[in-house]
Structure 1
């Protein structure tokens, strides 16, 4: 199952690290507690639209780009889940992953 908050956290962390910013720096710029940002990045908390806008501003990242990256990550995870097909051999169920053709 795809958890949107995990993909969002991944994208926000990648953006922060790519800019060379610490959690402390983003926390100060966004006026959000460091602990809360950490929980968002780890996918443990949901970010409200207002909080997400503050984080994007602190990261100098357009909200539309961040959400676009999240959408691409979710789509890739959904596609991977569709390729994992459970099959039954005898009485045992096995998960078989079929790699896409190159």
Structure 2
């Protein structure tokens, strides 16, 4: 049986990696985001779910966009699911959204 992909674990990995890239401690992120150190630690370890408000605070503290974090998590989910690039087509294309070359 395949182990289910846990979004919260992968989100925690992405947030921890970003914090490490910046050389920030949990205490520093906690102070900037105004979220308890223990709760951030549990999020990074995939033990707690982050609300959208809390995630926005963490992204601000880590100077990263929410879309970048979610994109990185989505990439990790696809890897764990063993998906190929060809299988990563949008569920429902949105003609009103134009992709940028960024």
Give the TM bin, normalised by the shorter chain.
0.7 to 0.9
Q: Which runs of 4+ in 1 moved over 6 A?
A: none
CA RMSD of aligned residues (A): 0.8
**Taking structure 2 as the reference length, what is the TM-score of the superposition?**
0.77
Give the whole-Å Cα distance in 2 for the aligned partners of 1:38 and 1:26: 10
State how many pairs are aligned: 80
**Unmatched segments (≥5 aa) in structure 2:** 84-102
1:61-72 pair list within 5 angstroms = 61-72=64-75
Partner of 1:70: helix, strand, or coil? helix
For structure 1, the residue ranges without an aligned partner over 5 or more in a row are 81-102
Greater Rg over alpha carbons, structure:
1
Aligned mates of 2:62, 2:8 — CA distance in 1? 18
1: CA distance, partners of 2:68 / 2:81: 20
Quote the residue 2:15 is aligned against: 12
Larger strand proportion, structure 1 or 2?
1
Deviations along 1:40-89, one digit per CA (max 9) or x if unpaired, are 00000000000000000000000000000000000000007xxxxxxxxx
**What TM-score does the superposition give when structure 1 sets the normalisation length?**
0.77
Listed one character per residue, the Cα deviations across residues 8-40 of structure 1 (whole Å, up to 9, x for unaligned) are 000000000000000000000000000000000
Aligned to 2:41: 38
